Structures are given as structure tokens and as C-alpha cells.
Amino acid sequence: MPLWHVYHPPGTYTAQEKQQFADGITGIYTRFGLPKFYVVTLFHEIDATSFYIGGEPRQAAVRIVVAHIARHLDDATARRRTSETLARVVAPHTTERGLYCEFHVDETPRDLWMTDGIAPPPPGSEAEKLWVQENRPVPY
Amino acid sequence: MPLWHVYHPPGTYTAQEKQQFADGITGIYTRFGLPKFYVVTLFHEIDATSFYIGGEPRQAAVRIVVAHIARHLDDATARRRTSETLARVVAPHTTERGLYCEFHVDETPRDLWMTDGIAPPPPGSEAEKLWVQENRPVPY
Amino acid sequence: MPLWHVYHPPGTYTAQEKQQFADGITGIYTRFGLPKFYVVTLFHEIDATSFYIGGEPRQAAVRIVVAHIARHLDDATARRRTSETLARVVAPHTTERGLYCEFHVDETPRDLWMTDGIAPPPPGSEAEKLWVQENRPVPY
């Protein structure tokens, strides 16, 4: 759970900048008590002839696709706040560097999700706390 | 919103053909009054040893994945018509060139979506019309 | 339908190993009577500086994203069994090789899906049986 795909032009980020970006993303979720290792971030270079916005090639743009699995938000306020948090976290790596940035989040079913062959423990459970502490899937 | 991922064999499209394809895709949505820049198309080359259909490597095939965010369709007729429109737009770039083509569309939540840190305006609103006109996110 | 994306470090699989993996995946669905060609598997190499788990670069890991389109499962038992089946099929290619593995499945709408411009036939229909037999989309 959360899986982040960051589609960006070649050479946009150094390895260190990618790690900092991934670290910022991870912080969004650990603050809510999720295990750190739940957060996977994949960077994908898309070259100028393969990235189109409105039918035009576009070079200074980042498109982010997020899947939320472990937690879904029912409340409109929480959802708005989540979008705002994501925007705040991505801004230093995108808009504040002059890169147009669009993101969207999908919410996918929790019960069709596994880590190392184990169905992750229920939200807030003792087992989940152990997973946070150990930062890996532990049989429960 | 709409995000199109086009997974295709290496060398299938020239830069110009990709732009024409992306342009055709964009037209689907601008006809419905959406801002042009909402439509993002990413092309991904997948080489012959990484593209399998039914467990067999397959070279002359294109797999398309679409996310619809800004508008969801409730009505069965509108949904069928949408699929047919997509099929018609992709055909000249796929089946009519002898490439097997499969696509599917996912519908993801509108309220977990942002462009340049701004939640896009409601469908049909004055702000959305301004976004169409300016072809960029404008604070509202 | 099912579309499998396998994100893995460079050099993890030979072409033959990818085919065996794709073949194992295909078997999950053909056992349920689906046409073989419905199962598409795409492998994506993600290099060490682009793959982060919990904000740290991670090399020995595979992240799998699956879309189910043709069949959705209503029943909690069937859903748990499906996750377990997927885990069993991916294990020899991941965890049993010392690779951390996380997967999740999304379920997307059947009526926004087409193969070669044809809306696939209803589950269990005569047309679907013909598609199984011919292993290609046949007008019906």
C-alpha cells in the first residue's frame, strides 16, 4: 500500500533527489501509523517523445499516480486534507522547481493485497504495530 | 484526468505518430468540454521478452490502460458509447496497422486529484470554462 | 483482463524465466475458464536508484500490480482464496528466490474494456467459450 508511480522527464532527479522525494512521501503515511515498508515509490523516466499533455509533447512535467490500499477515507474533509497533504509534499520536487505536476489517487481493495505472501494485519491491530516496529511482514 | 498509458513494442511509433495518436485521444475529451491539458498520454516501450499474452511472448500487440477521473458515466448507454469511441480512436494506430489491441478504463475518485496543487473545478462550472480557455490550472 | 505489471530490478529474470512466470500467471485464470489471451503480463525493469521501499533504495524486491476486469469476486472467502492463489503462484519467482514481494489487485469496470474493438462476451456465455477455444476475439 501506498504505491507511488512518478513519471518524469529523463534527468529530472539525481539518485539523491529521488531518495529525498521518496522519503517525503513515506513520511505522509508513517505519521498516520503505517509501517514504513508499506510505502513503495517507483520512478519512471519518460522521454520527450513519449510524454504528451493535451496532445502536445511536454518536457517540464511530472505525472504521479498513487494507489491507496491499506486505508480508505470516507469523510470529505479527510479526503480534501489528504489531497492537500500530497500536494504539499510533492511541491518542492515539482511545481517549486518549475515542473507542472498532476497527481491522482486510486483506492483499491484491501483484501486483494499481500506482502511476502501474508495478508497485512487489520488497521490499528497489535500485529500492525509489530509490523511498524519490525518494519517488515511478520507472521501473526 | 484522463491518463492514458500505451504499452507497445519498441519502434512501433515514430515521434510524429505518437503525437498524432495523443492528439486523437485528446479530441475524445475536448469534444465533451474538458480542458485540453487534462489529457495526459504516456507511451511505454516494452520489449519482446517483457510482453506476454496468454503466457506467450507477443510482438505485434498494444495494451492500453486508461484512468478516468474528471467524469464518471452512470448510464449504460453512455458507457457503451464511450468504449466504442475509444475503440474508434485507437483503431487507426493499432488494429488497422495489424496490431492486436486491448484497452480498459478505470474510474478513480475525483476528490483525490490535483493539478499544480489545485483541486480542479466542478464539471461545467465557470472556473472549468476558464481552465478550458486558458488551457492551464488557474486559481479560482 | 487480468493485466499484470511486474516491477523488478534489472537482470532479475531471463527471458525464459519471464515466460515461465507469465505462464504460471496465465494458469490462474484459464483454470477458471477464461480465454488464455485475456491474460497480459508486462515486465518492467526498475533500476536501483528508482525503486524505493519506505524511503530507502531497495534492490531485491518485486512489486506487482494486477487489474481484474472480466470477473469480480463478491464473496469474502473467494477473495481470500484468490489472494492466496496469487501468492502461491508468485512465490517461486519472488520470495522463494529471496526477493521481497508485494502485490495488490484492483478491480475495474467490465463495460469499459475492449479487445480488438469488441466488447468481450458475458461470463460463461457460448461466445466466451468460443473465445476460449479460438484463443482470440471473435465477433459474436
Percentage of chain B modeled with pLDDT above 90: 94
Picking from B14, B114, B118, B135 by the largest number of A CB atoms within 10 A of its own CB, the best residue to mutate is: B114
C-alpha cell belonging to residue A122: 487489520
Residues of C in contact with A44 (CB under 8 A): 46, 50
Rounded-to-integer distance, Cα B22 and Cα A53, Å: 8
Give me the mean pLDDT over the C45-62 stretch: 96
| pLDDT value, residue A72 | 81
Mean pLDDT of chain C: 96
Query: What is the maximum span of chain B, computed from C-alpha positions, in angstroms?
Result: 51
Residues of C in contact with B10 (CB under 8 A): none
Mark out chain A residues that contact chain C at CB-CB < 8 A.
Answer: 1, 3, 15, 18-19, 22-23, 25-27, 35-45, 67, 69, 106, 108-109, 111-117, 119, 135
C84, B54 contact by CB (below 8 A): no
> In DSSP terms, which residues pair with B115 in a beta bridge?
A102, B118
Q: Among B50, B12, B96, which Cα is nearest to A50's? A: B12
Give me the mean pLDDT over the C59-88 stretch: 93
| pLDDT value, residue C134 | 98
Q: Where residue B101 falls among pLDDT bands split at 50, 70, 90? A: very high
| pLDDT value, residue C73 | 84
C-alpha cell belonging to residue A30: 508513517
B101, B94 contact by CB (below 8 A): yes
pTM, rounded to two decimals: 0.98
| pLDDT value, residue B74 | 84
Rounded-to-integer distance, Cα A51 and Cα A48, Å: 6
| pLDDT value, residue B66 | 98
Q: Over 90: is that where the pLDDT of C60 sits? A: yes
Rounded-to-integer distance, Cα B64 and Cα C37, Å: 15
Residues of B in contact with C39 (CB under 8 A): 52-55
| pLDDT value, residue C102 | 98
Give me the mean pLDDT over the B131-138 stretch: 98
State pLDDT tens for residues A59-100: 899 999 999 997 788 899 999 999 999 999 999 999 999 999
User: Looking at this predicted complex, what is its ipTM?
Assistant: 0.97
Q: Where residue B52 falls among pLDDT bands split at 50, 70, 90? A: very high
What angle (nearest 5°) sits at the alpha carbon of residue A93, between those of residues B71 and A96?
85
Q: Over 90: is that where the pLDDT of C1 sits? A: no
CB contact under 8 A, A106 and B111: no
Mean pLDDT of chain A: 96
| pLDDT value, residue B72 | 81
The residues, ordered by sequence, that sit 6+ positions from B101 with a Cβ below 8 Å of its Cβ are B61, B62, B63, B64, B90, B91, B94, B95, C115, C116, C117
A6, A68 contact by CB (below 8 A): no
Rounded-to-integer distance, Cα C136 and Cα C39, Å: 12
CATH superfamily for A3-134 is Macrophage Migration Inhibitory Factor (3.30.429.10)
DSSP C49: G
CA atoms within 13 A on the CB side of A77: 0
Using DSSP, state whether A108 is helix, strand or coil. coil
Among A92-96, B75-79, C39-43, the range scoring the smallest mean pLDDT is B75-79
B101, B62 contact by CB (below 8 A): yes
CB contact under 8 A, B37 and A54: yes
Rounded-to-integer distance, Cα C40 and Cα B95, Å: 17
Question: Chain A: nearest CA to C134, how far in angstroms?
Answer: 31
- The phi and psi torsions of A114 (rounded to 5 degrees) equal -145, 150
| Domain-wise residue ranges, chain B | 3-134
Residue with more model confidence, C71 or C25: C25
Q: Which residue has the cell 483482463?
A: C1
Specify the amino acid at residue C29.
Answer: Y
Residue with more model confidence, C73 or B98: B98
The residues, ordered by sequence, that sit 6+ positions from C113 with a Cβ below 8 Å of its Cβ are B83, B102, B103, B104, B105, C1, C69, C70, C119, C120
List Cα–Cα distances, B32 to B26, B29, B108, B123, B132, in angstroms. Answer: 10, 5, 18, 11, 11
CA atoms within 13 A on the CB side of B67: 26
CB contact under 8 A, C7 and A114: no
List Cα–Cα distances, B132 to A134, B30, B34, B35, C133, in angstroms. Answer: 50, 9, 6, 4, 48
B122, C137 contact by CB (below 8 A): no
Q: Over 80: is that where the pLDDT of A29 sits? A: yes
State pLDDT tens for residues B4-45: 999 999 999 999 999 999 999 999 999 999 999 999 999 999
